[in-house]
Structure formats: C-alpha cells, structure tokens
Structure 1
Amino acid sequence: MSQKLIAIDLDGTTLNNQSLISLRTAEVLEKAKKAGHYVSIATGRPFRMSEQFYRQLKLDTPMVNFNGGLVHKPYQQWEFEREISLSKEIAFDILAQKEKLKLDFVAAENRETFYINDLNDFEGHFFATDTVTEANLFTNLTTDPTSLLIKTKHEFSSHVSDSLTKQFANQIDVRTWGGPNAILEIVPKGVQKAMSVSVIADSLNIDQKDVIAFGDEHNDLELLDYAGWGVAMKNGTDQLKGVANDVTSDTNEEDGLANYLEKYLAL
C-alpha cells in the first residue's frame, strides 16, 4: 500500500469523551507509523492545549493548530511553517463592545502569547495553561493574534456571531466551540484545516489521493472534502457525514478511529 498521510482531528475523534487518547488508539497509530505512514494532528486547539497528545503519540511530523491558522513542526525550524494572523485592531474593537454584546471575556493569542481581559471568569484547566497574562489587552497586545476567543451566554451567541460577521465581513470567520460553554472563536477569513494539511502533504511529497482524514465537526468539513479518503466519526455531524467517503462503525468513545484505521490499512 502506498504511503499515507493520516490527518487526525482531536476532540470527538482521536480523543474519547474524557479528552484522552485510549491505549488502543495510541497502539494503532503507532502501528501505522511503523508501517511507514505519517500521522499528523489537525486541530482547532492551540498548541498549548494539544502538545501533550503530540508527545504522547511520539510524533515528529508537522501539525495544524487553530483550525489551520498555524502549521508548524513543533520544537523545530521548518521551512514550510506559516501562521496567519488577524489585525490586533479587531481585538480592540471587539473588546470595546464587551458590554453591548454581553461578552464574559475576550482573549487573544498566537503561538507565543495568550492574553485575556479579565481573570474572574477564567478556568485555567479549560485553557490548559498557567502562563496567562491578565491584561489590559489595549496595552499588552502588541502583536497580531492568530485567534480570538470570546465567551458569552448560549442565548446571545448567535447574535454575537451575526453582529461580528457583519462588522468585519471580509476579515474574519466566526466558529463555535462545542461543549458546555458558549465560546466563539474568531479566525482570519478563509482559514481552515485543509489549507494547512495540504502544506504538510506537499512537504512530505504525499499526493492528495493518499491523504486520509478523520473528523467529527463542522470545522472538519473542508478537510474531509480535500482528503483522498475522508472519514467521519459515527458521533459526527450529519453535515460532515454528507461530505465523507465513509463513516466509522464506532464512536470516539469506542475507539472508532483505531478500529477503522486498523482495517483500512490492514495493520
């Protein structure tokens, strides 16, 4: 079988419902690597919230963070690396509307920095970081961020999303995070995972037809559509299953990715 690039989403896909990689999933991905395939993480999470999985899987491949906003080779200089940023003025504009839009916080980050305007509503474990700078964003944010996170209440989130999309029409895309909190992520317009996974494929001389991708959510749509073989998780959204080549028989809680990959690659 030709060498494959296996692009894996984390939440709801590689991770179980406890946000862990099971022993079985880790073993199958290790077997795939030993068989000569590349395994590459493509996640919406920043690097600080995905680094532990990169280490656990003992990867040395490039990876995608911020839904495509950053493609890099952790701990190394890599000639294809790129980070796509938003203008910091957008962060300032949104922060100025915090009361009007009923926002709990506004956070701005890139690979090096993470600033949040107010630590009262901050859950450190949720952001997996201790190196947060409580900041008057206006004075401390000196570089353009790759991603903004804003938290509101569920009942306001579609209004916030519509309002920001209108105001910054040609500059941003607003994506929602799944889960209990109403978190909106704001990324530069047109940023998505497929764009950055294609950079990785090119760097490894892997044809598009030899890219296998796994995902579960709307932020995996372009990725599954781009991949030569796109696989939606059984627990994935109907919209995603609509663009996928196939759907796993098991959920992320039942090692769906591992079971599928083992059969598909005859490991």
Structure 2
Amino acid sequence: MKKMIAIDLDGTTLNQDSQITDRTAKTLQRAIDDGHSVVIATGRPYRMSGNFYRQLNLNTPMINFNGALVHLPEQTWAQELETSFNRSIVFDLMNEKKNLKLDFIAAENRDTFFIDDLSFFDRAMFAGEATSDNLLTENTLIKDPTSMIVRSQPNNLKSVSEEIKQQFGDTVEVNTWGGPNAILEIVAKGIQKAHGLAHLVKVFDTDAEDIIAFGDEHNDVEMLEYAGWGVAMANGTDQVQSVANDVTAKPNTEDGMADYLEKYLDL
C-alpha cells in the first residue's frame, strides 16, 4: 500500500543547521519514485518553508501554520482551506504586551505579515523585507489573521502560554514554535496538523491508516496520533514519543527520518 508521508520540518526533516541534507532529500525522492507521496506539515508560514517544498520538488498540497492553511503552493486550488481567528485578540495582547514581557507581536496570513515593533524585525525569521506598511496597527491589520506569533525570553515562555490559554483558550490554540527562537504561535481553536491531514484524506478519498507521520514537538502530537503510523524523532519530546507508534533510532542531526524511512519502506 502506498503511503502519504507527512513530515514536520524543524527538528525532524531539518538538521541542526535548519537544512535538508542530501541524504534526506534523496530518500524522500526515492519514496516518491516508488509511488508514495510526501506532504510537509509545519508551523511555519509558506514564506519560510516554500524553499524546502521547492528543494524537494514536491507537487502535493502543503500544510502551514500548524494546519490553519492547507494549500497547493503557487497554484489556485479549489480545495484550499484557510482558518482565521478574530483580530481583536491581537490587539488585546498588544495592550498586555508589557505585563507579559513580550519582545514583539506579529500577525500574519498567507500573503503578508505585520509586526508591532520594527526594531525586532529579523529578515531571516520573516523571510522578506519590512517597511512601515508592515507595522502592526488597527489600521493595517484589517483582516482576521491566520496566525499570530509572540516572542519572549525562554524562561518566560511557559507562563505566557498559560496566560494566553487562560484568557483566550476557548477560541485559540497556543503552540511552541520549532527551532531556536522562544516563540509561541497562536491559531484558531481546534487547528492542528491533524486537522490539515484530515482535510487531505477527505479531498483525496484516502485513509488515515495509510499515513506515516514524523514529528518531534508537542504540536506534532495530534498528527502522530491521527496517522496510521506515527513516528517520533529520537530527539523528540517525551510527550510526542509517548503517543508515537515508534521512535527513530537516530535524531534529526543524523538523518533520523531518512534512516527510518529507508528501512520502513524498504528503499
């Protein structure tokens, strides 16, 4: 049976330098050549992950913003799914920014982003340039956002997450961003990567049992539970390993996902 291979990026497909190694790329290509499909499922926006999609020469739909956007990159797709939340939450958090000890607040959707303090703008993080048009205000953010990110100090992140959940937990989900930055991502309630995969299962009239999913963080938990075979990375959190069907023998720094797929799919 051919598989849909759902892959997280940070800490899973990407190595310690946030790159896809030649071995991982070649392994995924061999899987595709054998008739399997590869779907990227990431918390990143497309502007920060499209380069990996292109590197792997994919033509499958992509899941961004932890499931809030399911789309066919660079194409018009009738089955595209984008889920937003009320923009008032953004402005409520801006009013509490000082008390929460946040460095910055950014709101984004598929096409653009807004940040409340341009002095914190990092081109690498936002994969583009910023002008005064990207300054986050009530006049610029006129649409409900698909995602919001906030940055604080690492030792403050847990308390910020708990405070946001306490205030807005009925309407949003709060996830830790993958990678080295102390960032929380906020999306609409009920949105996770499994939500995006379920949409693809429906669109392509397939079965979740035919999905093998790889992840390393708590925002991958639902995806690994949903998939017919969920695989946690050796470098994954205790939580994600506890729900997985299996754990890779090697971490992301040693092509752990590629190593596992070569054996599992007999590549």
TM bin, normalised by shorter chain, reads over 0.9
Q: Return the offset for 1:195.
A: 1.1
Please identify, of 160-169 and 24-33, the stretch whose mean Cα deviation from structure 2 is larger. Answer: 160-169
AA of the residue aligned to 2:183: I
Task: Name 2:189's counterpart in structure 1.
Answer: 189
Which residue number in structure 2 is paired with residue 210 of structure 1?
210
Kindly indicate whether residue 116 of structure 2 is the aligned counterpart of residue 117 of structure 1.
Answer: yes
- Partner residue of 1:229? 229
Conservation of the 8 A alpha-carbon contact between 1:221 and 1:240:
yes
Shift of the alpha carbon at 1:210?
A: 0.7
In 1, Cα distance between the equivalents of 2:16 and 2:120? Answer: 24
Secondary structure at 2:120's aligned position in 1? coil
Letter in 2 for 1:211: I
TM-score, length of structure 1 as denominator length: 0.95
Cα distance in 1 between the residues matched to 2:46 and 2:127: 10
Cα deviation, 1:68-104, whole Å, max 9, x if unaligned, reads 1111111122222111101111111111222222221
Q: Distance in 1 between matches of 2:62 and 2:93?
A: 29
User: Does the CA-based 8 Å contact 1:208-1:226 persist in structure 2?
Assistant: yes
Conserved 8 A contact 1:118-1:134? no
Give the CA deviation at 1:147. 0.7
2:75 aligns with: 76
The structure-2 alpha-carbon separation of the partners of 1:57 and 1:178, relative to structure 1 and needing over 3 Å to count, comes to: closer
Partners of 2:197 and 2:12 in 1: CA distance: 17
Amino acid at match of 1:69: A
Distance 2:221 2:26 in 1: 27
Contact 1:147–1:186 (8 Å) recurs in 2: yes
Distance 1:55 1:178 in 2: 20
Counterpart check, 1:262 vs 2:262: yes
Q: Which secondary structure does the structure 1 equivalent of 2:77 belong to?
A: coil
Residue 5 of structure 2 aligns to a residue whose secondary structure is strand
Contact preservation (8 Å) 1:234, 1:247: yes
In structure 1, runs of 5+ residues without a counterpart are none
User: 5 Å matches for 1:110-189?
Assistant: 110-131=109-130, 133-189=133-189
DSSP 3-state at the match of 1:138: coil
Deviation by residue 1:177-197 (Cα, 9 ceiling, x = unmatched): 244432111111111001111
RMSD: 1.4
CA distance in 2, matches of 1:174, 1:258: 29
Is the CA contact 1:4–1:206 (under 8 Å) kept in the aligned structure 2? no
- Find the counterpart in structure 1 of residue 60 from structure 2: 61
Where in structure 2 are there 5+ consecutive unaligned residues? none
SS in 1 for 2:214: strand
Aligned CA distance change for structure 1 residues 155 and 12 (closer, same or farther; 3 Å): closer
Following superposition of structure 1 onto structure 2, how do residues 243-254 of structure 1 map, counting pairs within 5 Å? Answer: 243-254=243-254
For the residues of structure 1 that align with 2:238 and 2:82, how far apart are their CA atoms?
A: 31
By how many angstroms is 1:151 displaced?
1.2
Tell me the equivalent position of 1:104: 103
Q: Are the aligned partners of 1:33 and 1:39 in contact in 2 as well (CA < 8 Å)?
A: yes
**Structure 1 range deviating more: 195-204 or 210-219:** 195-204
Give the alignment of 1:90-101 within 5 angstroms: 90-101=89-100
Q: Aligned partners of 2:128 and 2:193: how far apart in 1?
A: 23
Q: Which residue of 1 aligns with 2:24?
A: 25
* 1:72 maps to amino acid: H
1:193-233 per-position Cα deviation (integer Å, ceiling 9, x unaligned): 01111211232332111111011111100000010111111
Aligned residue for 1:258, secondary structure, equals: helix
Q: Is the 8 A contact 1:224 1:244 kept in 2?
A: yes
Could you tell me how far apart the structure 1 residues matched to 2:29 and 2:178 are? Answer: 28
Question: C-alpha separation between the residues in 2 aligned to 1:183 and 1:49?
Answer: 15
Identity score, percent: 55
> What CA distance in whole angstroms lies between the structure 2 residues aligned with 1:89 and 1:99?
18
